[in-house]
Structure 1
Amino acid sequence: MFTSPVKRCRTRSLGLPAFLVACLAFASPVWGQSVSVGADVVSRYVWRGVDFGESMAVQPAVTFGAGGLEFGAWGSYSISASGASANENDLWATYTVAASSGLSVSFGFTDYYFPAPDAHDGFGSGDAHTLEVSLGFSGPETFPVTLFGGVLPDGGDLYVEAGVPFAVSDVDVALHMGFVGGESDFYGTEGAALVNMGVTASKGLQVTETFEVPVMVAWILNPDQDRAHLVFGFSIAP
């Protein structure tokens, strides 16, 4: 998962108490159903076309699921002290409706929180949290496209991304292109802009007969910033 822009303004979201109520409402059918844990290690943390932290990062995650419902926590922590201001700790939830054809639609929200050492707002402050509401679409095998749209309810900042996954030999490849709908402090744009386009290739690295490590390389261009990134990463999961 790639995430996070240059310093983003902290728009007021639902606030921490309301967010926790929402999580508790989701929690009852999830606990005890399925749990997954793991972490990604990436050479750069690039979120929607923007290098966030300018250093390597470790990105732990825990996910709970039951049926089409999933929620969990995801974070990114720079291995460099100079990148600590880019540390991130998000809570998220999605509900996916899937058809037998493979087509699926997902509804979700993410609570972005940045535990920077010099942050003025603590975790309990509503001003420290930014909420995004999202809608995703994944096509069937006969039309394998992905669409994602995310909006910040308070600021109206809109991000839309389209992707096309395919395979070359035994390597999974995905093309993507993302737009911001207008001027946004959150994304650092002065108007509607193409901010995120590129290609990601991923493959399992066989370590032993029973253990495989997923690895990926992504080339990402942000035309709005006139900057390109080449990112390497691998995942660790039990």
Structure 2
Amino acid sequence: MRQELVSRQLEEQISGRFPVGQRLRVLDVGMGRGTQVLRLARAGHGVTGLESDPALVAAARADLAREPEGIRERVRLIQGEGMDTGVHFKPGSFDVVLCHGVLMYVKQPDALLAGLARMLAPGGLLSLLVRNGDALALRPGYAGDWATALASFDGSSYTNRLGLTVRADRLADLTRTLEGIAAPLRAWYGVRVFTDGADDTAEAPTGGKLERLLAAEERAGRTDPYRAVAALLHLCGVRG
């Protein structure tokens, strides 16, 4: 659900900012096992994936190996830390930089974000996916965990589904940060408005039911006030 919604939102921003058919230079920082890397390479773009976890890099390489040669040759996978983009790449090397599901694991994200912005060419797109700090009370509240819900109103940390204590970001704070690194916010979406409370073991719907669910989530993710209470925020800034 998350990957599909973010992909649709990202495509909207790319198609609205770059000429149709332009082969973009894309960097995915914290790529995981490369879901977005493969999607963008299949769309014809040259994509570099950066990931610190060797197991995830290996999984991404295995998935890439099953792709046609024309897609494989458009992808470069690197094991490395998100803070080290300046070691691997020159400033202004990319048209699009993704950083999805990473900031919640970074205690002080400003330096990372500034480094990502430096990787963008003028007019380049920075795509961030973060845990929504303004909606932290919803998940424990729906579960009847009132102590955690109350604490979430004033906090910026939460326990994720892996059992790790991580941090969340608020829209107003990130808006100021993006302005400060010369990649001001141009658009933002909510991700997982209705499905965040689904049980981890729940089976995904199929066919028409899945399409209706995606349509509802996609509509909510761009409509006030629903997007403001989504579990995740997808922010898109543009390098000045």
Query: Same fold, TM exceeding 0.5?
Result: no
Greater length-normalized contact order (CA 8 Å, ≥ 6 residues apart): 2
- Structure number having the greater helix percentage: 2
**TM-score scaled to structure 2, two decimals?**
0.30
Q: Which has the higher strand share?
A: 1
TM-score normalised per structure 1: 0.30
